[in-house]
């Protein structure tokens, strides 16, 4: 690897990958309507195929959800290398003030390696009650542990948060700050961000945002057994341990979630991976010397892996293969044209004159939106609204996506919007949250002096995740 910000590029066949196999993968993804946002395929350290479905973009980071866990695991490995902690350290040794009273059964036997391997012994994920509490770490420490640590697998996001807290207490640095000089700088990863807990701790188990290429770089580092640009970043022993089966999580040989679990990495039918809700993937394939990085907004996480196994793996050959100019040209054009099409251009009905630019008083709602107006005087509609943060406006594309930035209490939210009239009283706006998996539909129904806005999110329901930054339904009347 060179010193460039981006990974080196190559034609697929030069690295032994058939262009047809990538085309078949894309065909399958689009036929199944899986909702991919981006992917990069690396072979022998070279990016041989990559694409972003518009309105998603190469340079925008994407929320990784639980793929964040693999970054947290990497930080623990680095801290262990530096002697700042040991995987055999007892968890309670980092929380002397929080564990002065009698601790939960088995808590005294819980070690860092149990947090890493999701073998804490809990019967249920600790994160839901933690998120409902004032102090996440204290809540974790007070919860019963039903099984002896190390004997029982349970996917437990609260355990990863505790790794982030321990890292902070062992090093004095927050997760991303610790990783900056040790991982992000040498791999040229930029603009990494995360959400934090009420105590100001980087959450670790979810919430990191990164570009697709930076996800691919993490996979390539592990594929290279911890070496980057000829320098050792991670010890080979750590890479081996972290990506090997540390605990059993099922027996179905065809289920990619039952092949064993390492240190915040899943074993797969082929290779291993970090993954996150709605289809965020960093798949490492040592036998093929390949990495697949994916961001998406899909509900069926297994299907995209099935398609990768079905199409991409057979297309990888040990040596360079003859170039098929026609197939390669077809793939190049296909990758350039990946897109989710906006609704067709629509004519503004004459009835819209009555409502255009009129201000509606909005009933009390969780988003604190007080007033709202929609103007239809130009080709693109403009939505103006007022909430507790001030006044805002969004331009809605007509037959195209238009990028907007929405100010929220969680920070600026980048979206792409397009709208169309579905009848004389109904205006439908599609809103892509282009740094996240989500696509929302806002249906504006104008009836006399009243306005109703129905909001729907096109994603499978995952409690606590599916409603993230989801606008509530709104009701209003003309002022």
Q: Given this model, what pLDDT does residue 101 score? A: 66
- What span, in angstroms and rounded, lies between the C-alpha atoms of 326 and 333? 11
Largest CA distance in the chain: 72
Q: Which helix (H) or strand (E) holds 268?
A: none
The 3-state DSSP class for residue 320 equals: coil
DSSP string, 26-50: HHHHHHTT--EEEEEEEETTEEEEE
- What span, in angstroms and rounded, lies between the C-alpha atoms of 126 and 263? 18
DSSP H stretches of helix in 224-255 = 236-243
Q: Given this model, what pLDDT does residue 466 score? A: 66
Compute the residue count for the chain: 479
- CA distances to 47, 131, 167, 454 from 134, in Å: 45, 8, 20, 33
Q: Which helix (H) or strand (E) holds 427?
A: strand 426-433
Chain-centre distance for alpha carbon 144 = 30
Among candidates 192, 157, 162, 183, which has minimal Cα distance to 277? 157
Among candidates 4, 468, 40, which has minimal Cα distance to 190? 4
| Residues sharing a CB contact under 8 Å with residue 446, sequence separation 6 or more, in sequence order | 351, 352, 354, 355, 425, 426, 427
Q: How many CB atoms lie within 10 A of CB 100?
A: 8
The 3-state DSSP class for residue 23 equals: helix
Q: Given this model, what pLDDT does residue 2 score? A: 45
Degrees, nearest 5: CA angle 331-63-338: 20
- What span, in angstroms and rounded, lies between the C-alpha atoms of 437 and 440? 10
Q: Which helix (H) or strand (E) holds 293?
A: strand 290-296
Degrees, nearest 5: CA angle 363-368-371: 55
- Count how many Cα atoms sit within 13 Å of the Cα of residue 344 in the half-sphere of its side chain: 3
Token output for 95: 């929380």
- What span, in angstroms and rounded, lies between the C-alpha atoms of 60 and 455? 25
Burial of 225 (C-beta count, 10 Å sphere; 0-12/13-18/19+): middle
Report whether 57 contacts 38 (CB < 8 A): no
- Count how many Cα atoms sit within 13 Å of the Cα of residue 74 in the half-sphere of its side chain: 24
3-state helix, strand, coil in the chain (%, to 5): 30, 25, 45
Per-residue pLDDT tens, the chain, 479 aa: give them: 445 578 999 999 999 999 999 999 999 999 999 999 999 999 999 999 999 999 999 999 999 999 999 999 999 999 999 999 999 999 999 999 887 666 777 899 999 999 999 999 999 999 999 999 999 999 999 999 999 999 999 999 999 999 999 999 999 999 999 999 999 999 999 999 999 999 999 999 999 999 999 999 999 999 999 999 999 999 999 999 999 999 999 999 999 999 999 999 999 999 999 999 999 999 999 999 999 999 999 989 999 999 999 999 999 999 999 999 999 999 999 999 999 999 999 999 999 999 999 999 999 999 999 999 999 988 999 999 999 999 999 999 999 999 999 988 878 899 999 999 999 999 999 999 999 999 999 999 999 999 999 999 987 656 666 667 788 999 999 99
CA dihedral 25, 27, 28, 30 (to 10 degrees): 120
Q: Given this model, what pLDDT does residue 1 score? A: 46
Q: Domains (ranges, CATH) in the chain?
A: 12-336 (3.40.710.10), 350-478 (2.40.128.20)
pTM of the model: 0.95
Token output for 121: 């012994």
Q: Given this model, what pLDDT does residue 458 score? A: 84
Q: Given this model, what pLDDT does residue 426 score? A: 98
- What span, in angstroms and rounded, lies between the C-alpha atoms of 103 and 355? 62
Burial of 336 (C-beta count, 10 Å sphere; 0-12/13-18/19+): exposed
């Amino acid at each position: 690897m060179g010193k460039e910000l981006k990974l080196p590029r190559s034609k697929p066949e030069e690295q032994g990958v058939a262009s047809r196999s990538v085309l078949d993968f894309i065909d399958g993804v689009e036929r199944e309507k899986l909702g991919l946002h981006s992917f990069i395929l690396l072979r022998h350290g070279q990016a041989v195929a990559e694409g972003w479905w518009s309105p998603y973009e190469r340079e925008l980071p994407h929320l990784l959800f639980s793929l964040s866990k693999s970054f947290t695991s990497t930080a623990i490995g680095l801290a262990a290398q530096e002697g700042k902690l040991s995987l055999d350290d007892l968890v309670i040794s980092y929380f002397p003030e929080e564990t002065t009273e009698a601790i939960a059964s088995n808590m005294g036997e819980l070690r860092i390696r149990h947090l890493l391997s999701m073998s804490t012994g809990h019967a249920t994920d600790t994160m839901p009650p933690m998120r409902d509490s004032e102090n996440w770490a204290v809540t974790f420490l007070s919860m019963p542990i039903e099984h002896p640590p190390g004997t029982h697998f349970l996917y437990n996001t609260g355990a990863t948060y505790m790794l982030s807290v321990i890292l902070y207490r062992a090093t004095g640095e927050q997760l991303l700050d610790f990783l900056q000089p040790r991982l992000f700088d040498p791999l040229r990863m930029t603009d990494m961000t995360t959400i934090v807990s009420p105590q100001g701790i980087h959450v670790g188990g979810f919430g990191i945002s990164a570009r697709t290429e930076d996800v691919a770089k993490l996979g390539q580092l592990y594929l290279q057994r911890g070496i980057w640009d000829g320098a050792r970043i991670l010890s080979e022993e750590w890479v081996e341990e972290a990506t090997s089966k540390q605990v059993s999580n099922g027996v179905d040989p065809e289920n990619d979630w039952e092949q064993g679990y390492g240190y915040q990495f899943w074993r797969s039918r082929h290779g291993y991976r970090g993954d996150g809700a709605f289809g965020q993937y960093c798949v490492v394939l040592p036998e093929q010397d390949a990495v697949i990085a994916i961001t998406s907004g899909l509900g069926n996480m297994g299907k995209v892996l099935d398609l990768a196994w079905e199409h991409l793996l057979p297309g990888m050959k040990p040596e360079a293969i003859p170039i098929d100019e026609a197939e390669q040209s077809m793939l190049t054009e296909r990758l350039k044209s990946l897109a989710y099409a906006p609704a067709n251009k629509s004519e503004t009905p004459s009835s819209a004159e009555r409502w255009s630019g009129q201000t509606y008083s909005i009933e009390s709602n969780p988003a604190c939106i007080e007033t709202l107006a929609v103007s239809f005087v130009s080709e693109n509609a403009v939505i103006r609204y007022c909430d507790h943060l001030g006044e805002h406006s969004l331009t809605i594309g007509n037959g195209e996506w238009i990028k907007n930035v929405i100010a929220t209490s969680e920070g600026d939210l980048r979206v792409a919007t397009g709208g169309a009239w579905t009848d004389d009283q109904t205006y439908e706006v599609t809103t892509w949250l282009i740094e996240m998996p989500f696509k929302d539909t806002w249906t504006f129904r104008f009836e006399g002096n009243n306005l109703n806005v129905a909001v729907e999110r096109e994603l499978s329901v995952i409690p606590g995740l599916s409603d993230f930054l989801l606008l509530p339904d709104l009701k209003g009347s003309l002022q």
